[in-house]
Amino acid sequence: MSGPSVSVPRVRRAVVALGSNLGDRDTLLREAVRAVDETPGITVVAASAPVSSTAVTLDGLDPSKPTYLNAVLLADVTLDDDALLDALQAIEASHGRTRDVRWGDRTLDLDVVALDDERIDTERLQVPHPRAAERAFVLEPWLQLDPEARLAGAGRVADLASRLTERTRPVPGATSLLDPEPDAPSDHGSAHDPTPDPSPGAP
């Protein structure tokens, strides 16, 4: 006689974009990856090295703003959509994120870019992220993790990235955000890059 059936949670692969242009950006991104991985129902399986980019505001590129560090993580998720968003927004808030200005400076930004190949359009969540195909600071870190990645409804991430005129800038000495934090000071530990960067940086 068989026992009671056990419900197995559905696992989805999430692509999450991270960004920071205030404070100790590299540390903030690494702490965020750890916090995401420690969240029940989320297991981080890979995280890119950070890249550098110029802030994007509602008026376009703004090199006068602090430079962004951006990255992407891949995670296996058993949470439903609202629970996933609640968890990510709680991590943002715990790292000082405020929402006073749309597309304003932020200590931490966590955006769901994709959930498997699902297409979701609710008041709280749009997946795929509506601007992902236009953002090198999302596509290029994603390609670090999965050169064959595809964005639902848009095609191969490598093809999308190749069509963009913008480019991110590698950060000297940067390593995967899953690696221990580097001891030596470098560009990715500073809130500002020493040279202008023409590549946009806020999702």
Mean pLDDT by 10 residues, the chain (203 residues): 71 98 96 98 98 85 90 98 97 84 81 97 96 96 98 97 94 94 49 41 53
Q: Is 196 inside any structural domain?
A: no
1 in a structural domain = no
- Residue closest to 160 by CA, chosen among 184, 132, 181, 183: 132
Are 50 and 179 spatial neighbours (Cβ–Cβ below 8 Å)?
no
Domains in the chain, number? 1
Among all chains, which residue has been given the structure tokens 């749009």?
126
Rg (CA), the chain: 17
Establish if 187 belongs to a structural domain: no
Q: Active-site positions? A: 97, 106, 109, 111
Cα first-last separation, the chain: 54
Tell me, what's the pLDDT at 198? 42
The answer to whether residue 182 sits within a structural domain is: no
CATH number, domain of 157, equals 3.30.70.560
Answer whether residue 91 is part of any domain: yes
Closest CA to 167 of 67, 16, 52: 52
Q: What integer pLDDT is reported at residue 166 of this predicted model?
A: 85
Phi first, then psi: give them for residue 149, nearest 5 degrees: -60, 150
Whole-structure pTM value: 0.86
Provide the pLDDT for residue 168: 96
Range of the domain at 156: 12-177
pLDDT at 193: 44
